[in-house]
Structure 1
Amino acid sequence: MARILHLSDLHFGAHDPKLVEAVACRVDEEHPDLVVISGDFTQRARTEQFRDAGRFLTRLREAGHEVLAVPGNHDIPLYNVLRRFLSPLTRYRKYIDDTLCPFHDLPGASILGINTARSATFKDGSISHEQIRFIRDTFAKTDPDNVRILVTHHPLFALPVGDGGEHGVPVHHQQDALAAIAEAGVDLLLAGHNHLASTHASSLVHGAGRALIVQAGTATSTRVRGEGQSFNHIEVEANHVKVTIETWQDDRFARGDSQCFDRNGEHWDLDGGEPVNEVIEGVTQ
């Protein structure tokens, strides 16, 4: 069984130091097989914000934790136009990770990260055709019995972002990306961006494959959207996934309710046989 802590949207520069310390302590206590951080390490991609984020990562790594990270749209400078378009992820590469599409193999799980942040799209995400080929090629080389996990900052789907029924924007080249994850047999999609924790089934969209979509809330940012700070504790074993949300409660992170999912052919069921039926938007043209 692979145990993963899924953090997202740390937003150093708009963070609460108490939350940062509490997250680091929980990682030490849980000692997962892998810490996944799905983007937005900083608030405005400034050097001092990346330094703070880098110190947080150094602390995790020096404590013996493996980390897989991808950039988010906030990790690209917004107001410095020259840096935004000429060297958008230079600071990310220096302080976070020089690899923009990292890969980890764990016993029973293969995890690939893909950078969806772009200079021209500002807050929205995109996947290139080269990255789509990379997804297919990378997972084709993995153990077919492993659970295949794809990590992005931006959700591939137009998922809910508020209580009023509004949905976010899917990544550019969504149709090609969804075809690729279906062909590659991706089992889990981990992302952030919306600052809301949720689970959905990609099988609700025709041609999108069998993946279980797991969204993380913001772990340490003061910028929340209707729910408190949180991160995901994920246990993966063959055709079974358990997702537990760790939520901020007064002065510490504590485990909340868990959801268990079993893969039933080409779709996921909640433990007990009920299909995952969260509503998501269809594929855009």
Structure 2
Amino acid sequence: MARIAHLSDIHFGANDPTIVAATIDWLKEKQPDLVIISGDLTQRAREGQFHDAAEYLRALRENGHKLLVVPGNHDIPLYDVFRRFASPLRRYKRHIAQDLCPWVETDEAAILGINTARSLTIKDGRINHDQMQLIRRRFKGVAPHKTRILVTHHPLFELPIGQGNELSEAVGRQEDALQAIADAGIHLTLAGHFHRTYAEAASKMVAEAGPTLVIQAGTATSTRLRNQEPQSFNWLHVEPDNRMELQVIVWNGEGFQRASHVGFSLDGNQWHSEELSTHEPATGDFRGAKTPSAAVGR
């Protein structure tokens, strides 16, 4: 079994230092096999913000964590127009990672990160045809029993996590992107961007998506909350033959606490979910957070 912590939208420059420290402590205690951070490490892609983000990643590595990190739209300068178009991710590459499409393979899973942040789209994401071919190529030789995971900042799907019943924006070239993940047999997509927690089988959203389960992370440490959903991150147990558990780890004002706990199993191309018991009592005030157990099956 692979234990994966999925954090997103750290937003150094608009973050809560107490919560940042709490994530370090929580991860040090639990010792996941992999820590994934799906973009928006900074608020405005400024030098000092990247320095703080790099120090955060250094602390995680010093605690023994293996990392897979991709950039988000906030990691491209917004107001520095020259830098935005001439060298949009230079600071990210200098402080965080040179590789914008990182790859990790374990005994249980194969994980690929893809950069969806672009200069022209401001907040929305895109995926290009070279990246689609990379997805197909990387997963081509992966053993059948391993869970195939794709990490992006922007979700590949339109999700019902906007205001009211509005669907969120999907990545540009969505139809081609979905064909690529279907061709690659992706089992799990992990993303952030909306600061909202969500989980659903892709087959309930689009006709042709292959055996894909869509999981969104909330913001781990940002003070910019959406619909008063508190800071949170995802804790995944990935087992061979496409079984997994997802638990949402929620900030209750004093510390992180285990909340919704959902099990998933793949039967053919269809994911089935089962709500599991929460290991720790949910005594904190989560301010109406939408958790995956509430979102599954909508």
> Do structure 1's residue 127 and structure 2's residue 162 form an aligned pair?
no
- Give the C-alpha shift of residue 75 in structure 1: 0.2
Structure 1: which amino acid aligns with 2:233? F
Kept after mapping to 1: 8 A contact 2:32/2:65: yes
**TM-score normalized with structure 1 length:** 0.95
Cα distance in 2 for partners of 1:251, 1:97 equals 32
Report SS of the residue matched to 1:21: helix
Cα distance in 2 for partners of 1:58, 1:27 equals 13
- Give the C-alpha shift of residue 74 in structure 1: 0.2
Matches within 5 A, 1:82-231: 82-204=82-204, 205-226=206-227, 227-231=229-233
- Give the C-alpha shift of residue 160 in structure 1: 2.4
Structure 2: which amino acid aligns with 1:235? H
> Do structure 1's residue 233 and structure 2's residue 241 form an aligned pair?
no
Name the structure 2 match of 1:283. none
Kept after mapping to 2: 8 A contact 1:153/1:192: yes
Cα distance in 2 for partners of 1:142, 1:268 equals 20
Report SS of the residue matched to 2:194: coil
Structure 2: which amino acid aligns with 1:207? E
Cα distance in 1 for partners of 2:56, 2:14 equals 15
- Give the C-alpha shift of residue 158 in structure 1: 1.1
Kept after mapping to 2: 8 A contact 1:40/1:75: yes
Kept after mapping to 2: 8 A contact 1:4/1:34: yes
- Give the C-alpha shift of residue 144 in structure 1: 2.3
Structure 1: which amino acid aligns with 2:268? G
The one-character-per-residue Cα deviations of 1:50-109 (angstroms, maximum 9, x if unpaired) are: 000000000001111000000000000000011000100000011111100000011110
Which sections of structure 1, spanning at least 5 residues, go unmatched?
280-285
Structure 2: which amino acid aligns with 1:64? G
Cα distance in 1 for partners of 2:145, 2:211 equals 15
Report SS of the residue matched to 1:233: strand
Kept after mapping to 2: 8 A contact 1:150/1:186: yes
Kept after mapping to 2: 8 A contact 1:9/1:40: yes
- Give the C-alpha shift of residue 163 in structure 1: 4.6
- Give the C-alpha shift of residue 206 in structure 1: 0.7
Cα distance in 1 for partners of 2:59, 2:178 equals 36
> Do structure 1's residue 248 and structure 2's residue 248 form an aligned pair?
no
Kept after mapping to 1: 8 A contact 2:39/2:70: yes
- Give the C-alpha shift of residue 257 in structure 1: 2.0
Report SS of the residue matched to 1:112: strand
Cα distance in 1 for partners of 2:190, 2:180 equals 16
Kept after mapping to 2: 8 A contact 1:33/1:106: no
Kept after mapping to 1: 8 A contact 2:199/2:296: no
Cα distance in 2 for partners of 1:179, 1:247 equals 34
**TM-score normalized with structure 2 length:** 0.91
Number of residues paired by the alignment? Answer: 277
- Give the C-alpha shift of residue 31 in structure 1: 0.4
Structure 1: which amino acid aligns with 2:234? N
* Stretches of 4+ aligned residues off by more than 3 angstroms: 276-279
